[in-house]
Structure 1
Amino acid sequence: MRTPARARASAAGFSTAFNTEQKIQAALPDPDSMKGWKPKTGKAHVVEQPTPPAQCGPDWDCAAVADGSAKFEEVGEIVTFHLYAFADQPTAQDACRKETTQMAKYTKAEVAPLDGATSHAYYRNAGGLDGINVSLCLGTVVGRVTIEGGGSNLDPKTAHSMSRILIDRVRKAATAS
């Protein structure tokens, strides 16, 4: 899924470094932003010695300086939000390109473009659960929204709305810095 040039420019213009656990936690959805969903897990982690990007090869998240996730459940569906923070925009853009290349082997999902982020979506099956993933590139972070569940209808509209929540949270955390 391609994002309009205007949205790509706005996503590329944001350079906040999410290099603390507090910044990662602020960027991830919380129970208030996920009304109707039950919180399951959440974590944030700062990498003590990040790998230099030149040493990562095809491993797209290798150079992350921090990461975090938050998981919520609603009637048999689970949504997981992941954030990978990078030291700067060029490193994040490189990670996004590598992630897009790795995910090209999966079936594309038709999720509407997300203003403010470069994104792509795909279906996958892992551990007996069907899933839909939306990957988002926003300035210095790469985010992923995964919705999965046994028998889930994997509605692209749900994937879009969950992705919108993550984009809004990241932007809000960036402006609070």
Structure 2
Amino acid sequence: MNVLLGAVRRAVDRNPAAAHAALDRAQDAAEQALSELRAVARGILPPVLADRGLAGALAGLASSCGVPCEMTVDVPGRCAASVEATAYFVVAEGLSNVTKHSGAASAVVEVSRKDDRLLLRIADDGRGGADERRGSGLTGIRRRIEAYDGRFTLDSPAGGPTTMRVGLPCGS
């Protein structure tokens, strides 16, 4: 975030548009850091997962999404708590991106389990053009996924739509 704010300081007079874009990225980074700090303060695992399970926790995210969101969760049994928490945070960040950046009219989240993998798909009908290099949210998602030897792909051509796919080992 410090690097982004330094870029704003350098660009504010000579390129206000670039400064504004860097401020947006810094705000996203601050929000992500605050979200992660809150999760650590709560003991890493969101209480809603223990209270409602993965399907219930994700349904809560969908209902509070800024655009209509269709949610399908087909996950028999439970995955490791840390994997479910990672899935929860990935969906939360993904839906936050849909609301803030995509201009979408709707979103779809599909969560399923195939063998020992938890599979996530987050899609929207927005303008596309999502780019990991332009913010910390998508980079944070990739890091979370890779920490579990998971897979992350993002397809977001200019003009849309955007689809994020994640595969995580369920753990034991």
Which band: TM-score by shorter chain? Answer: 0.3 to 0.5
Q: Taking structure 2 as the reference length, what is the TM-score of the superposition?
A: 0.34
Q: Taking structure 1 as the reference length, what is the TM-score of the superposition?
A: 0.33
Structure number with greater CO (CA < 8 Å, separation at least 6) is 1
Q: Which has the larger radius of gyration?
A: 2
